[in-house]
Amino acid sequence: IASYIKAGNLEDLTDLYASEGWDKVFPAGLIKTLTIGGKIYGVPVNIHRANVLWWNPAAAKKAGITAAPKTLAELFADLEKFKKSGIDGIALAGNGDWAIAHLFDYTLLASMGPDKFNGLWDGTTSWSGPEVKAAIANFKKILSYGNSDKSLDWPTAGKLVTSGKAGFFIMGDWASAQWQSDGLKLGTDYTFAAAPGTVGIYQWLSDSFTLPVGAKHKEAALAWLKVCGSLAGQDTFNPLKGSIAVRTDSDPTKYDAYLQSAMADWKKDTLVGSTVHGVNMNNGFMAAYNTVVGKYYNGGAKDDAGFAKELAAAFTANPNA
C-alpha cells in the first residue's frame, strides 16, 4: 500500500492500533510493512502463504512418487515421473499473467535463496547476474512440463491437479479454501508441502484494509476496521479464506490441518515477501513484472537474456523510493 500512502490517499491509523491493542497482538514485522514515517496505515486481516506445492495423492502414487520433493532436483525428477505416467507434470495458469508471475517469483526464490532473492528488490542482486540466469533456466524447464493450454485461470488449472490430469500445482494457500468449497477433502483429494527449494522459507502476503482520506462514512469504516482486526473477526474469516490470522492470540483449533501447519511454519521459518502480491515492490513494478513474465510464457520474449533485460528495465523504471 506504499504507493497509496505516498500519494496521500490514506488516513493514519496509529491511534486505532493503540486503542484496539493491535500493537501487542500483531507481529512487529508486519506492522512495519504498513508503516511510513512512523504512522501505520493498514489493518491486516490475514497471512497467506505463496510457496505451497499441491498435488493429488492418487496421481502421485500412480506415478511412483512417495514423498514430496524438497529440492528443485527432486522436483524435476518427479515432473518426469508424472510425464511418464501420462499426465502433465505441473498445472499452469496463464490467464491474466499474475499466476504465471507467481510461479516465476517462487522459482527465483527456490533458485537463489532468500538473501539473493531479497537483493533483487534493493539492488544488491543483479538482474543480469548468474542467479537470475539460473532461475530463468529452471523456470523454462518447469514450464516445459505444463499443460499446453495457456488460457487457463488458476481455479481451472487447479482442477487439473485435483482431477488427476496434472501432477503438481504451485499456488498460494487460497487454493485449499477453493477446493474445500468445491467439496474436496484435504488429505484425500489433495495434499500439500512447502514448494521444493523453499523448505524452511515462508513466502507471505497479507490482505489489508485501509481508511481512505475523505471517506463519506468514516465511523462505519472505522467500525469495519475494528472487526477486521478483532480476534473474533480473524478467527471467523480466515478458516474460510484459507489463510491464517495475523493475531498472535488466534485459536489454532478453529483451523484445519494445513492452516495449523502454516501457523507453525510462520513462527519458525525464514519470512520472505511475495513480489506478485505486493510485499516487495510498488504497484508499478508489480504490474510490469506480471506483464514481462506473461510475455515470456506466451512466447513474446526473444530469448532468456531478453527476458532478464526486460525484468531489469521494469525494476529500473519503478523504484520503490
Return the ∠ at Cα 286 (arms to 1 and 146), rounded to 5°: 135
- Residue 2 has a pLDDT of 83
Which tens digits make up the pLDDT trace of 154-206? Answer: 999 999 999 999 999 999 999 999 999 999 999 999 999 999 999 999 999 99
Assess whether pLDDT exceeds 80 at residue 321: no
Pairing type for strands 166-170 and 88-90 reads parallel
Separation of alpha carbons 79 and 206, rounded Å: 30
Strands 201-205 and 43-44, by their bridges, are: unpaired
3-state secondary structure of 166: strand
In this structure, the dihedral spanned by the alpha carbons of residues 45, 50, 52 and 55, taken in order and rounded to 10 degrees, is 90
What pLDDT, on a 0 to 100 scale, did the predictor assign at position 301?
75
- Mean local confidence (pLDDT), 141-151: 97
- In tens, the pLDDT along 195-244 reads 999 999 999 999 999 999 999 999 999 999 999 999 999 999 999 999 99
- Cell digits of residue 311: 525484468
Cα Rg, the chain, nearest whole Å: 20
Question: Where exactly does CATH 3.40.190.10 map onto the chain?
Answer: 2-47+205-255, 49-203+276-317
pLDDT in tens, 94-111: 999 999 999 999 999 999
Query: Pairing between strand 88-90 and 52-55?
Result: unpaired
Confidence (pLDDT) at 3: 83
Is there a contact between 146 and 90 (Cβ–Cβ < 8 Å)?
yes
Are 114 and 272 in contact by the 8 Å Cβ rule? The answer is yes
Rounded Cα–Cα distance for residues 89 and 144 (Å): 9
1-37: pLDDT as tens digits: 888 888 899 999 999 999 999 999 999 999 999 999 9
Q: Does 119 have pLDDT greater than 90?
A: yes
Strands (E), the chain: 35-36, 39-40, 43-44, 48-49, 52-55, 88-90, 166-170, 191-194, 201-205, 208-209, 270-273
Q: Which superfamily does 2-47+205-255 belong to?
A: Periplasmic binding protein-like II (3.40.190.10)
Q: Which amino acid is at 95?
A: N
Task: Give the cell for residue 18.
Answer: 493503540
For residue 222, count CB atoms less than 10 angstroms from its CB and return exposed for 0-12, middle for 13-18, buried for 19 or more: middle
Task: Specify the CATH superfamily of domain 49-203+276-317.
Answer: Periplasmic binding protein-like II (3.40.190.10)
Report pLDDT digits (tens) over 252-278.
999 999 999 999 999 999 999 999 999
Distance set, CA 112 to CA 78, 105, 128 (Å): 21, 11, 14
Give the model confidence (pLDDT) of 47-85 as tens digits: 999 999 999 999 999 999 999 999 999 999 999 999 999
Rounded percentage of the chain residues whose pLDDT exceeds 90: 95
